[in-house]
Structure 1
Amino acid sequence: MIYAVLKTMGLRLWRDKGALVLAFVLPGFIFAIFAAIFSTASGGSLDLRVAFSAVGEDPAVIALADTLRVEATFDILENEKWSGGDLKEQVKLGQADVGLVISPQDGARPQMTIVEDPSRKVAATVVKGQIRQILADNSGASQDIFTTISALPETSNINGPADKSVTYYIGATAILFLMFAAMQGASISIDERRSGISERLMVGPGGALAMLTGKFLFLTLIGVLQAVVIIAVANLFFGVQILPFLGGLVLASIGTAMLASGLALFTAALCATQTQMHTVSTFVVLLFSAVGGSMVPRFMMPGWLQNAGIATPNYWVIEGYYGLLARGQSVFSLWSVWSVIFVSAFVLLGLAAILSHKLMRV
């Protein structure tokens, strides 16, 4: 009996070539992605972007600025027209990981002001460590003069959590969990195709698009409710203020649920069996979540992975929630984020309908 079961399952996997490839190729690919992320983070060689400004013509300021330009391992973003406020804006919007202002100080080493985002405190700590080492190597002294300020507006999440990085994980967790849940719900489409139910449903008005739109709306509704639970937990147990941002949070939650649902239905349309769906959906969610910032903040990744993360739904969802709750951005100032989220959701739904229609006609 045991041999018969083993043989049956082995033959089933062997005959499903798609599942066979996915089962033995994707684990190595996932390992390579995680290895690239965590080897960079643990090795201290983070690809940090530092918005930089040297104030005035003081010789000590100029000398220190020149030294940092030559010896620092982080990427320096510099514009002679930038003021301290411009640097805060760069960090607040995520265009730089850290801001650094070097200004003169009477009778002492130049003053260094670090501009940080609470969700990227590690980045500020790494930059400080590098500067301390550079100072020690060049002058034999390790003392430094740092002042740290936040790039986020004082009005952002008033009386909110002591650890402002909590707001980052609302979007990061929401898109991760909603993608997993939507993938599970969308997998029923495969059974419907194989049993002929989808073919009978497509005879009705609207065909594949109408059939998938019904599933899309149901998965979106469930996703919105799941996002509400996450936001409620953030409010009740971590002190994240939500009432001032209620309208934006509703929009973000609907968009996140729609995007997760569209991606799930598109993935289900690509898969021929439940085994393929299980493997592909797990791979897609893990890959997007790792590269997009749900598992590890993107600033801790190699530069090429940071750029790749922009193509993931996680990146845009995190930008939406964090922009509202932490950066103090208005709903209208985040129009580019909403555009990507909602347009992507509808495009994925349309592609899923086209694929389903073609599969039913084969």
Structure 2
Amino acid sequence: MIWTVIQTGFRRLVHNRVELVMTFIVPIAFFSIFAVIFGRGMGTTPRIKAVVVDEVESVTSQAIASEIRESPGIRLMQQDDQVLTRQDAQDLVRGGSVTIAIVLTGTDAEIRADLLADTSDQVAPQVVTALVTRTLMIHAAGSSGMSVMAASAVGPASASGGDADGSDEQSTTWVSDVNAKPAAAMADVQVVDVMKSGKSNPVVSMYAAGIAVMFLLFGAAGAGGAMLEEKENQTLDRLLSTRLSMDQLLLGKWFYQTMLGMVQVSVMFVWAMIVFGVDLWHHLDGFIVMTCVTSAAAAAFGLALATLCRSRGQLNGLSVILILTMSALGGSMVPRYVMSDSLRQAGLWTFNAWALDGFDKVFWRDLPVSTLAPQLVVLLACTFGFLMLARLLAIRWETE
């Protein structure tokens, strides 16, 4: 009898496509995603969006700036002939157009570098610091070496009573000493955080947004499954036999889930404000706008999934696959700054990424609501598209 139970279990597994996918395909898919992110994605650090500002404007600083621009680890976000000031560069970093701005400052004899950084990306400052330090030290050593070679060429000629061997030995020692000290002095690189000043736990707000968006999707998918249950127990047929139309039913479900999602996100951020000190009040307008459109898009997504599936079990399996995949690529699970450029582009096909970019502008960058236009357009387009898809798929419920 035990063997019979075992055989029955395997037969049911073979004939249940959703369970097969959840058992074998989903683990491989997620292993592959995270292997790409933390394997190749971290091993070959993504190119960092940067600009270079030369405040020294000397031959040496221009050579350093040129070498930094040509570095394979830098994705230069300015034209070769485009001249930026420190304030221009800082505005680009604060606006999210670039991750880091490299400002060469000081004097021609002692060139330093200030890295104006967006520290929400914790990798970029470390990578660029190493790159710029290396470049400065190479140029410092090269400049010192040439200066000393010129001086040593004059030194033996002007020395009185010194033989050639003694002069050579003295000049060699001189080169060694001068090479060491200026190189260390010129490798002065300072990271300047232009984002965190005066803020209260902005990173926690980003974690809250990532988790909130992911669970909005799960909640919407679960609520959409209620329609499948109503179809299975024939409650849906009785509702449609009244004066209630399918359009009214879908809109009613969508409005309900949208309002529930807004409450869900609000509760999470209020908790974050009370317990973790997130500054919600000073970002209330942007928070309300992003919460409304994100909840609306998630609710429409849940309805589209529900009308696509034919059973609650099928919906559960499909929703888990899609939501976890979108959350992994869209930044709800893993920060997008650790991903390669190709994975970042793939993440833009999920509305997780657009929603998190919007919350990032509100809580991290302190940008006004007017700057949220790209995110709002994409999320509203997703809402409309998912609602239209749900309506088209629901036709079969009216004709069955």
Q: Larger deviation: 92-101 or 286-295?
A: 92-101
Distance 1:215 1:225, change over 3 A: same
**For residues 29-80 of structure 1, what are the alpha-carbon distances to aligned partners after superposition, in whole Å with 9 as ceiling and x for unaligned?**
2222111111145425233222233345311111111222334423222231
Aligned 1:146-165 pairs, distance under 5 A: 146-152=189-195, 158=198, 160-161=200-201, 164-165=202-203
- Alignment match, 1:119: 120
1:268–1:277 contact (8 Å) kept in structure 2: yes
Once structures 1 and 2 are overlaid, which stretch shifts more, 279-288 or 86-95?
A: 86-95
- Equivalent residue for 1:212? 250
Opposite residue 268 of structure 1, the aligned amino acid is: A
Identify the residue that residue 223 of structure 1 maps to in structure 2.
Answer: 261
Q: How many residues align?
A: 356
Matched, 1:102 2:104: yes
- Aligned residue identity for 2:399: R
One-letter identity of the residue aligned with 1:127: V
Comparing 93-102 with 302-311, greater Cα deviation is found at 93-102
Match of 1:351 in 2: 389
**Per-residue deviation at 1:171?**
1.8
Q: CA deviation at 1:205?
A: 4.2
Written as runs of structure 1 = structure 2, the 5 A alignment for 1:12-51 is: 12-17=12-17, 20-21=20-21, 23-43=23-43, 45-51=45-51
- Secondary structure of 1:272's counterpart equals coil
Name the CA distance, whole Å, in 1 between partners of 2:291 and 2:391. 24
Q: 1:254 to 1:117 in 2, by over 3 A?
A: same
| Equivalent pair of 1:60/1:104 in contact (CA under 8 Å) | no
Give the secondary structure class of the aligned counterpart of 1:119. coil
SS of residue in 1 equivalent to 2:191: strand
TM-score by length of 2: 0.80
For residues 3 and 263 of structure 2, the distance between their equivalents in structure 1, rounded to whole angstroms, comes to 46
C-alpha deviation, 1:260, in angstroms: 1.5
Q: TM-score, normalised by structure 1?
A: 0.87
Residue of structure 1 equivalent to 2:131: 130
| Structure 2 CA distance for partners of 1:206 and 1:310, relative to 1, 3 Å | farther
Measure how far apart 1:134 and its partner are.
4.3
Instruction: Could you tell me which runs of 5 or more consecutive residues in structure 1 were left unpaired when the two chains were aligned.
Output: none
Q: Structure 1 counterpart of 2:192, which letter?
A: I
Question: Relative to 1, partners in 2 of residues 1:85 and 1:14: Cα closer, same or farther, differing over 3 Å?
Answer: same
Identity of aligned residues (%): 26
Task: Give the 5 Å matches for 1:1-362.
Answer: 2-17=2-17, 20-21=20-21, 23-43=23-43, 45-55=45-55, 57-79=57-79, 80-108=82-110, 110-135=111-136, 144-152=187-195, 158=198, 160-161=200-201, 164-205=202-243, 207-361=245-399
**Corresponding residue for residue 155 of structure 2:** none
Q: Which amino acid aligns with 1:30?
A: F
Runs of 5+ unmatched residues, structure 2: 142-182
- Once residues 9 and 159 of structure 1 are traced to their aligned partners in structure 2, the CA distance between those partners, rounded to angstroms, is 56
Q: Tell whether the 8 Å contact from 1:61 to 1:104 is kept in structure 2 after alignment.
A: no
Deviation (angstroms), 1:357: 1.8
